[in-house]
Homo-oligomer: A and B are copies of this chain.
Amino acid sequence: MWRQATDTEALRAALSGATVYRQRTLRLFGIPESEIAETLRAAEAEDGSLDGLEITTCLRRGEIEVVTRFGPDAEPRYDALVAAVRERDAGTLCSEGGRTIDQIVADALRADGLTIATAESCTGGLLAGRLTDLAGSSDYVLGGLVVYSNRAKSELAGVDPALIERVGAVSAEVAEALADGARDRLGADLGVGITGVAGPGGGTEAKPVGFVCLSAASADGRRITRSVQLPGGRDDVRDRSTTVAMHLVRRLLHGEGERAPIAA
């Protein structure tokens, strides 16, 4: 009945006259919100105008989402905006087509026929949970280790107890050992290790609440390791850590990372 009602000449004519708005999403990571505002101002100054573009920016799980709506006439202006963002914020622009980082990582793993495994301390399984959010993720997620206790770090993930003793459980070195342990124990192509201080307790002056070390390692010996200071409370730190980890994996899958021995 609905089909009958809509399948009329009159409605088609009315619809054909309507403006069809487009909506496009950019996602950036590792850039403060003020910086993207600056880029928008620069784009406006350069190209004369952002008229006809309805732009909203939003901080979501540690990424900046730039959603733009525009009519067909404004498409060239949108293209100019994207070009400006590409130029100014190249290293941080991670998605132009609206795909989430989760989807980007999943697509890349699938396209390359690679598998992934995790070894998590402060995130307690949330990264594995996030990686397996998507339907069909069993094609590339083999599994993971949640190594909350130091004994579990050593016995399950193979982290040398002497290393933990020497540099502490929250350290770049242990994050790297966890990434290697995840790869090794699960027999995966990629491994990710996370260790940090989620809070509210456990922080020190050198390693305060929000201090998190992450490492992603690939079978060909490449590795990206980062120590970051994340804002917010326990939930924020844990969730944001999984976002940072997803971006390390994305960069590793895009060929970044150095063939280097474990960080000194």
Which chain B residue shows the least CB distance to A147?
Answer: B143
User: What's the least CB distance linking A158 to chain B, in Å?
Assistant: 12
Name A's interface SS.
Answer: mixed
Q: Looking at A132, A147, A234, which has the most chain B CB atoms within 10 Å of its CB? A: A132
Q: Is the CB of A187 within 8 A of B151?
A: yes
User: What's the least CB distance linking A207 to chain B, in Å?
Assistant: 15
Q: Which residues of the partner chain B approach A143 to less than 8 Å between Cβ atoms?
A: 145-149, 152, 156
Q: Which residues of the partner chain B approach A52 to less than 8 Å between Cβ atoms?
A: none
Q: Which residues of the partner chain B approach A179 to less than 8 Å between Cβ atoms?
A: none
**Contact pick for A156, options B126, B127, B185, CB 8 Å:** B185
Q: Which residues of the partner chain B approach A127 to less than 8 Å between Cβ atoms?
A: 125
Q: Which residues of the partner chain B approach A144 to less than 8 Å between Cβ atoms?
A: 124-125, 145-146
Stretch at the interface among A10-18, A67-75, A133-141: A133-141
**Contact pick for A235, options B133, B152, B186, CB 8 Å:** B133
Q: Is the CB of B151 within 8 A of A124?
A: no
* A218 touches B (CB below 8 Å): no
Q: How many residues of A contact B (CB 8 A)?
A: 38
Which chain B residue shows the least CB distance to A134?
Answer: B234
Which chain B residue shows the least CB distance to A120?
Answer: B125
Q: Which residues of the partner chain B approach A131 to less than 8 Å between Cβ atoms?
A: 124
* 10 smallest beta-carbon distances between A and B, as pairs: A125-B125, A124-B132, A125-B128, A144-B146, A143-B152, A126-B129, A125-B129, A128-B146, A143-B146, A143-B148
Query: A residues within 8 Å of B by Cβ?
Result: 118, 120, 123-129, 131-133, 135-138, 141-149, 151-152, 155-156, 185-187, 199-201, 234-235, 238
User: Can you list 12 contacts pairing A with B, beta carbon distance less than 8 Å?
Assistant: A118-B146, A124-B125, A124-B132, A125-B127, A125-B128, A129-B129, A129-B238, A133-B235, A135-B201, A141-B148, A142-B149, A144-B145
